[in-house]
């Protein structure tokens, strides 16, 4: 028997619901959303509908593909893994990219002297 060290491991049901909520938050529930997720993952229509309904969870490679294409899924995954600090790093990187893009636009619009 493995000693309990106080780590909380999400149940499968919790995992399925977290991913479902993340997908709904990111792209909603409609036929276009189902097709988008199918394109991202290569999964079947039925599997994607199970994921969206929180009835089943994506496994392995499908989860990787979802996290690659959906920031909400990536954040949910990091939260479930107890790696919220990485989430801050991702947000800082996104902010840095946005600021660099804004600075480039300002430079391009500024009058030349």
Q: Which residues of the chain have pLDDT under 50?
A: none
Domain that holds residue 102: 84-113
Let me know if residue 17 belongs to a domain.
yes
Q: Cα(47)–Cα(21) distance, rounded to whole angstroms?
A: 16
User: pLDDT at position 57, please?
Assistant: 92
Task: Please give the model's pTM, rounded to 2 decimal places.
Answer: 0.66
CATH of the domain at 50: 1.10.260
């Amino acid at each position: 028997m493995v000693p309990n060290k106080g780590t909380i491991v999400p149940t499968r049901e919790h995992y399925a619901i977290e991913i479902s909520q993340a997908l709904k938050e990111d792209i909603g529930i409609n036929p276009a959303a189902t097709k988008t997720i199918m394109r991202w993952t290569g999964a079947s229509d039925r599997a994607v509908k199970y994921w969206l309904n929180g009835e089943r969870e994506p496994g392995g490679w499908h989860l990787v593909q979802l996290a690659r294409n959906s920031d909400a899924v990536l954040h949910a995954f990091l939260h479930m893994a107890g790696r919220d600090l990485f989430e801050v790093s991702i947000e800082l990187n996104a902010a840095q990219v946005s600021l660099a893009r804004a600075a480039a636009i300002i430079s391009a619009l500024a009058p030349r002297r």
